[in-house]
Every structure is written in structure tokens, then in C-alpha cells.
Amino acid sequence: MNNNATLDLMLQHRSIRRYQEKPVPPDVLDAVLRAAWRAPGSMNSQQVSLVVVQDAARRARIAEIAGNQAWVAQAPVFIAIVADQYKTSLGVAAGGAQQTVHSSVEGFATAAVDVGIVLGNLMTAAHAVGLGVVPIGGIRRDPQAMIDLLGLPKLTFPLVGLTLGYAAEEGCCKPRLPLASFAHAERYDAARLPQDIAEYDAVLCQHWQQIGRADGEAWSASLAAAYSRVYFPQVGPAARAQGFGFDGE
Ligand SMILES: Cc1cc2nc3c(=O)[nH]c(=O)nc-3n(C[C@H](O)[C@H](O)[C@H](O)COP(=O)(O)O)c2cc1C
């Protein structure tokens, strides 16, 4: 399908890590928040809350918590996307029962899915109004510090954040693994993956060269460094301290 503005914006997505010193007007921010608010959610549970941070000192603190990610302090808006089974627990109580879903992997999985949908809506809406974004999973490096900073109640968890602002950098999109290794037809095709990965390693290295990133690695090398360990080990203990459990069904 050609000439579809929404599809074009989505195809042009790239993360922005340098921002202009230009504030996001309140009506623009409001439009982005409203688009995310309309996101669908499991069982209409509405188990996602946002905390919108614009104060410069608080953004600087979040940048630090996320492992000194300068772009978090630089972008004028940071939105923390919070899995919120506190709000639902109040709904359950108002309905005359006691919530237990937060004690299960299913509970955390469904909240994480809903958080991801809200993240996607925020990004698409931001692109549509001319803003640049980068999601920030780095806030899970020290979840308790985020919980304290944002004043989050029990049964909530800051899963991911998003910086928003006007881009101060140009660039090209990062290549992906082939579409066929992402969207499988009818049955999962495991056989093609080793070849796809080898080819993608070369494509990504070429991309790094093109954009002058001397530190750019092959996909398999960067994934080997990241996924051979639990890179944010505080997530489990912090989630348990917030009242989540993974021992139910
Ligand atoms: C859930 C999630 C968490 C992320 N966390 C970070 C982060 O903490 N810092 C960062 O600079 N980029 C982060 N990213 C951005 C990814 O690195 C980026 O999306 C990926 O490399 C693909 O590049 P692109 O977005 O430019 O296409 C995150 C992306 C997602 C979806």
C-alpha cells in the first residue's frame, strides 16, 4: 500500500538520542497522551498508568538511574509506563473480591503486554506530531529508585519509559532481520534462522560503517554480551517487594 502517511511514519521509525532544547507544547503532549489512553487492554482492566516527568532535575535523576543515558536528561519529556495492578486491586475490591492475579506469571505477562501496547501507541502518536522518541528499558536497572522517585504504590511496577522531544539528529533506519524471519507464514520456520542471522550480522556491520559508528558490533556479538546474563537483576526482587509474585499459575 503506497502513500499512507501512518504507514510511512511507522516505516521511518528510528530511535532519537539527541534533542533540541525546545519544549513540547502542552497541547501536543496532551494529544499524544490521549492517543495512548485509547489503547486496548486485557479484559478492559486498564492496568497501565503513565507518570509524565518534565522537571529537569527529575529527568536528570532518571537519566542517572537508567545508567547515565544523557538523552533522558536532554529530552524535555520523559514518560514512565507503569504496570498498575494497584488500580485494578481497588476495582476488584469494589466488586466484592480480593485480587490474586498479581501473584502469577500470567498477571505480570498480561500487564507487560498492555504496557507494550501503550508504548507503541505513544510512539506512533509522537511520530505523527513530529516528535522523536527512544524507549528506555534502562529504568529497570534500579527499579526501586524509580519507584521511590515516582511515588509508586504497591502492585505497580515501572516497566519502561519513553523520552519525547524534537530531534537534533538526522540519520537512517537501523536494518532488521529479514521480514520472513519475523512474519512466518503458517508455521514457524526455524531452518532459515542461522543463515538469516549470518547475513544480518554483515548487513548491520555495513550499517555501522555507513553511519561512522566505529563501536558498532554484529547483532550476534551484541546479543551475546546482553543475553548471556540477567542484565537487570534487580527486577525480580523489586517486583516481589512491590507485591508481585510468580508462584501462582
Ligand atoms: C522496550 C525497549 C527498551 C529500550 N531501552 C533502551 C534504553 O534504555 N536506552 C536506549 O538508548 N535505547 C533503548 N531502546 C531502543 C532500542 O535500542 C532500539 O529500538 C533498537 O536498537 C532498534 O533501533 P531503532 O529504534 O533506531 O530502530 C529500547 C527499546 C525498547 C523497545
User: What whole-number distance in Å separates Cα of residue 66 and Cα of residue 137?
Assistant: 8
Nearest Cα residue to atom 31 of ligand 1: 135
For residues 124-143, give the mean pLDDT. Answer: 98
SS3 category, 176 = coil
Q: How far is the CA of 134 from the centre of ligand 1 (A)?
A: 6
Q: How far is the CA of 230 from the centre of ligand 1 (A)?
A: 17
Given pLDDT bands bounded at 50, 70 and 90, which one contains residue 2? low
Q: How far is the CA of 217 from the centre of ligand 1 (A)?
A: 15
Cell of 217: 558490533
Nearest Cα residue to atom 29 of ligand 1: 135
List the domains of the chain with CATH numbers: 5-171+229-241 (3.40.109.10)
Q: How many whole angstroms from its chain centre is CA 160?
A: 5
User: What whole-number distance in Å separates Cα of residue 228 and Cα of residue 225?
Assistant: 6
User: What whole-number distance in Å separates Cα of residue 84 and Cα of residue 119?
Assistant: 14
User: What whole-number distance in Å separates Cα of residue 85 and Cα of residue 83?
Assistant: 7
- Note the pLDDT tens digit of each residue in 148-183: 999 999 999 999 999 999 999 999 999 999 999 999
- Contact 95/108 with Cβ under 8 angstroms? no
Per-residue pLDDT at 1: 65
How far is the CA of 167 from the CAs of 13, 49, 158, in angstroms? 12, 26, 25
Q: How far is the CA of 154 from the centre of ligand 1 (A)?
A: 27
pTM of the model: 0.97
- Note the pLDDT tens digit of each residue in 206-231: 999 999 999 999 999 999 999 999 99
Q: How far is the CA of 135 from the centre of ligand 1 (A)?
A: 5
Q: How far is the CA of 93 from the centre of ligand 1 (A)?
A: 37
- Contact 165/22 with Cβ under 8 angstroms? yes
Ligand 1 atom, smallest distance to 71 CA: 11
Nearest Cα residue to atom 18 of ligand 1: 15
Average pLDDT over the chain, rounded to an integer: 97
pLDDT > 90? residue 3: no
Q: How many whole angstroms from its chain centre is CA 74?
A: 18
Measured from CB, residues less than 6 Å from any atom of ligand 1 are 13-15, 17, 66, 69, 134-138, 160, 174
Nearest in space to 18 (alpha carbons), one of 182, 104, 99, 134? 134
Cell of 89: 486491586
Nearest Cα residue to atom 6 of ligand 1: 136
Nearest Cα residue to atom 20 of ligand 1: 15
Per-residue pLDDT at 247: 86
| Radius of gyration of the chain from its Cα atoms, rounded to whole angstroms | 20
Amino acid letter, 22: K
Nearest Cα residue to atom 1 of ligand 1: 137
